[in-house]
Structure 1
Amino acid sequence: MFPHRRGQSLAGLSRDNRRNLLTTSLDELQHSA
């Protein structure tokens, strides 16, 4: 539902959405590490 791309600006997202994106990004980083 929410596109989570690394280049996306987090400024336009709500706090909850931003937290979800951060969690997803951290999870992706851990898997790619």
Structure 2
Amino acid sequence: MFYISEKHRFRSRLHSHKQTCIHIIRPQLIN
């Protein structure tokens, strides 16, 4: 159970990090 929650937390953190990268990179691509 603990392992599953850790995995989920890691995945959500990875997703938010990916979103942040997209948010930072995309404006540069537009310009």
Q: Which runs of 5+ in 2 are unaligned?
A: 26-31
Q: Greater relative contact order (Cα 8 A, min sep 6): structure 1 or 2? A: 1
TM-score of the superposition, structure 2-length normalised?
0.63
Q: Percent identity?
A: 14
Where is the helix percentage greater, Structure 1 or Structure 2? Answer: 2
Select the structure of larger CA radius of gyration.
Answer: 2
Q: Which runs of 5+ in 1 are unaligned?
A: 1-12
TM-score of the superposition, structure 1-length normalised?
0.59
CA-based RMSD: 1.6
